[in-house]
A and B are shown apart, each in its own frame.
Chain A
Amino acid sequence: MDKKLSVELLTTMLKIRYFEQAAKTLYKEGQIPGSIHLYIGEEAVAAGACANLDQSDYISSTHRGHGHVIARGGDLNRVMAELFGKADGYNGGRGGSMHIATMELGILGANGIVGAGIPLATGAAFSSFIRKSGQVTICFFGDGATNQGTFHEALNIASVFSLPVVYVCENNLYGVGTCIKNTTRCQQLSMRSFGYGIEGITIDGNDVMAVYETVGKAVQKARSGRGPTFIEAETYRWGTHFEGEPDTYRDPEEVKRWKEAEPIGRFEKELTGKNILDAGEIKLLHKNIQGQVDRAVEFAKASPLPDAGDVLKYVIN
């Protein structure tokens, strides 16, 4: 296991974790307007997948998208400022938690409509295919999105044209408050892609190296013109669908089990066990990242409010 890569993956996961924990507190304190959907527990998916991408590649993100932006190298200050609805946010306060994205990082929007980003990602891949640019798109979505028509239509199109796209399904078992087992008879979501002639793989989405390696192979396959792959990453969100939602639909035992299998602690254990990092190095990493997140919060608080006089900027009528 490569030390540089390990540190990179752990750093990304920790950034997401500390960022989300801060967001949770700030939201509870009423400092963040609207609603937020946290990525705590799913960090390995974004971190492992995005580590395979080049600067010019694309991703599409979802309502649970903070982790994707951070894994794409997003500036924590600007991500946090967007949560606050401030001028320095990536969307200048136009998007908020649900829509944090920027083309600077090749993010084709964070989509608040389940499954709606799948055709967009497929379109970016179609664009790369026509331009023969060698770019790859990773399309993130949840288990619930696999019941949307857009999922099925887009996968079929991607297969027909052998598009350079990797579909990464973050299967956290719940579409809002309903378990995926109650909304499809399909035993394993990765089976769905075979109907479209696309290889489907189910992996442990809390194993960051498994995500990194599986997505890595799929990215290489896409880049070399051998078409799309569907990867179902089994994971779990610690929190409810959105912050403040009562958790009436999940068995506490189930939550406990998944928390024990969370991605960061087990990766750290693996790293120390294999003598790749020692406890001191890991502690320092935590401290540094906590500091970065603290500074991001300060930055967001100090950032000016957007100018309402500019509200029509970027609209074309």
Chain B
Amino acid sequence: MNFTNFFISGVIKLKEITYKKALNEAIYEEMLRDEKVFVAGLDVGKYGGAFGVTEGLYEKFPDRIFNMPISEAGYTGMAVGAAMTGMRPIVELQISDWVTIASDQLVNNGANMPYLLMGKTSVPLVMRLPSGGYLSYACQHSHSWESWFCFVPGIKVVLPSTPYDAKGLLKSAIRDNNIVIFLEHKRLYNTTGMVPQEEYTVPIGKANIVKEGSDITIISYSFVLTKALEAAKILAGENIDAEVLDLRTVKPLDEETISNSVKKTGRAVIVQEVWKNCSVASEVSALISEKCFDYLDHPPVRITAKECPTPFSPVLENSVLPQTEDIVAEVKKLFAKK
């Protein structure tokens, strides 16, 4: 379902903003709404954050925007402790790859403490992580770590692909009582889209049917979804009517939307930017096999990055990360076999 059509037909006024501004508005609105919300990260103060997401917030909330030293484990753990004692921290790491440094605090402390302490504490913490490749940032600034955190009970993982979802999901993430790993794709920050002028939220755990279709379901999320949509357009020209799902949340997965779609189309490809092994694509593939086996015309196919550190040179990087033509080619194979 395309939300824009819905709003245009109604009375809700829309405005066009960037993905970055959408995130900024979400933080601003939630900080106004709840004084327990604070922001911590490197350069999040006057500097405005590495990608400009917190621009102007320090001036509005000087007591709740905190510049941190380059100590990812230290301030992530600090945020877990603050969350356990009544605050609602938003942590920004400049680059998502560095969440590996902070992961002990998230996995061994944040995800465990509510369980160990019998629900008498919670960890309402949002980890904002600028992520993803297609930018020639090479192997320590290009990856996206959703699959790591999907593995851990007690952690939710969200990756919006549009300004509308970025704002609505970040607001939901801030209000959530658990750790939410919020991966913002660096290639999306300056993309624009329509959002309502009025307040709204997007629920965590709901996929979005971006394009309806009847022949195959293409399941994707975050920036690479744009490539899935390009592929769907090309495939339409070849009489393959693809349905495209944006997962938006990869933990918990929206099993219902995924299985309803695949039961309808009988075929599924999952397109993700990162490595295949033990990944979101693998999980979705397993889910489809379990839930839709009798409806399938073909086993689910995973289109992912090659199992290789993301290289620097554009020609190398493009060969590793999934491209539109890869998706088109894989989908056509499924129909050629028939």
Chain A interfacial positions (CB closer than 8 Å to B): 58, 60, 90-92, 94-95, 99, 101-104, 108-109, 111, 113, 116-128, 130-131, 149-150, 152-154, 156-157, 160-161, 313-317
State whether the Cβ of B64 lies closer than 8 Å to any Cβ in chain A.
yes
Q: In the complex, A20→B330 CA distance in Å?
A: 64
Which of A60, A99, A116, A313 is B105 in contact with, Cβ under 8 Å?
A116
Is there contact, CB below 8 Å, between A317 and B153?
yes
Is B64 in contact with A130, judged by CB distance below 8 angstroms? yes
Query: What chain A residues lie within 8 Å of B85 (beta carbons)?
Result: 58, 108, 123-124, 127-128
Cα–Cα, bound, A67→B306 (Å): 52
**Complex: how many Å from CA A127 to CA B104?**
20
Evaluate contact between A157 and B117: CB separation under 8 angstroms: no
Q: Mark B62-81, 1 if CB is under 8 A from A, else 0.
A: 01101011010111111111
Q: What are the residues of chain B within 8 A of A116 when measuring CB–CB?
A: 77, 104-105, 108-109
Q: Does B242 contact A (CB under 8 A)?
A: no
Instruction: Among A60, A131, A156, point to the contact of B69 (Cβ < 8 A).
Output: A156
Q: Decide if B38 is an interface residue (CB 8 Å cutoff).
A: yes
Inter-chain contact B118/A314, CB cutoff 8 Å? yes
Contact B78 A131 (CB under 8 A): no
A123 in contact with B73 given A102-B120, A109-B109, A314-B119 (CB within 8 Å): no
Chain B residue at minimum C-beta to C-beta distance from A120? B81
Partner of B117, one of A103, A127, A154: A103
Q: Name the A residues within 8 Å of B177 (CB-CB).
A: 316
Chain B contact residue count (CB 8 A cutoff): 43
B68 touches A127 (CB 8 A): no
B80 & A119 in contact (Cβ 8 Å cutoff): yes
Chain A residue with Cβ nearest B38: A130
**Contact of A315 with B115 in the complex, beta carbons under 8 Å:** yes
CB-CB < 8 A to A128: which residues of B? 85
B117 to chain A: which residues have CB within 8 Å? Answer: 91, 101-103, 109
Are A153 and B74 touching (Cβ within 8 A)? yes
By the criterion CB–CB under 8 Å, are A120 and B116 in contact?
Answer: no
- The answer to whether B104 touches A123 (Cβ under 8 A) is no
With contacts A119-B77, A122-B81 known, what are 6 further pairs, Cβ within 8 A? A102-B118, A103-B84, A109-B112, A119-B73, A123-B82, A314-B118
Tell me if A119 and B252 are in contact (CB < 8 A). no
Indicate the member of A108, A152, A161 with the most B CB atoms within 10 Å: A108
Could you tell me the distance in whole angstroms from the C-beta of A143 to the nearest C-beta in chain B?
Answer: 20
In order of increasing CB-CB distance, the 3 nearest A-B pairs are: A123-B81, A119-B77, A153-B74
How near does chain A come to B219, taking the closest CB pair, in angstroms? 20
What would 8 A/B residue contacts be, using CB atoms closer than 8 Å? Answer: A103-B120, A120-B84, A123-B85, A126-B82, A131-B86, A156-B71, A156-B74, A157-B71
Whether B193 sits at the interface, judged by CB under 8 Å, is: no
Give chain A nearest CB distance to B174 CB in angstroms.
16
A119–B81 touching, CB < 8 Å: yes
Q: B272 in the interface, Cβ–Cβ < 8 Å? A: no
* Contact of B77 (CB < 8 Å), options: A94, A127, A130, A150: A150
Whether a CB of chain A sits under 8 angstroms from the CB of B113 is yes
Interface residues of B, Cβ cutoff 8 Å to A: 38, 63-64, 66, 68-69, 71, 73-87, 104-105, 108-109, 112-121, 153-154, 156, 177-178, 251-252
Contact A157 B69 (CB under 8 A): yes
Query: In the complex, A109→B113 CA distance in Å?
Result: 7
Identify A123's interface contact among B77, B116, B251, CB under 8 A: B77
Give A161 to B71 CA distance when docked, in angstroms. Answer: 14
Please give me the residue from chain B that is nearest to A148 by CB atom.
Answer: B73
* Contact of A121 with B116 at beta-carbon distance under 8 Å, contacts A130-B87, A157-B75 already known: no
- Kindly report which residue of chain B lies nearest to residue A95, judged by CB atoms: B116
Residues of A within 8 A of B109 (CB): 109, 111, 113, 116-117, 119-120
Give the docked Cα–Cα distance between A33 and B117 (Å): 20
A314 engages B78 (CB within 8 Å): no
Identity of the chain B residue whose Cβ is nearest the Cβ of A89 in the assembled complex: B118
B104 with A101: CB separation less than 8 A: no
Do B78 and A126 have beta carbons less than 8 Å apart? yes
- Which residue of chain B lies nearest to A99 when distances are taken between CB atoms in the complex? B116
Q: Which residues of A contact B108 (CB under 8 A)?
A: 113, 116
Which residues of chain A are near B114, meaning CB under 8 Å? 314, 316
For B120, the chain A residues whose CB sits under 8 A away are 102-104
- Which residues of the other chain, B, contact A149 by a CB distance below 8 angstroms? 73-74
Asked whether, in the complex, the Cβ of A127 is within 8 Å of the Cβ of B69, the reply is no
Q: Is the CB of B78 within 8 A of A154?
A: yes
CA distance A127 to B63 in the complex (A): 12
Q: How far is the CB of B69 from chain A (nearest CB, A)?
A: 6
Is A91's CB under 8 angstroms from B63's CB? Answer: no
Smallest distance from the beta carbon of A57 to chain B beta carbons, Å? Answer: 11
CA distance A103 to B117 in the complex (A): 7
For residue A157, which residues in chain B have a CB less than 8 angstroms away from its CB? Answer: 68-69, 71, 74-75, 78
- Whether A101 touches B71, Cβ cut-off 8 Å, given contacts A123-B80, A123-B82, A157-B78, is no
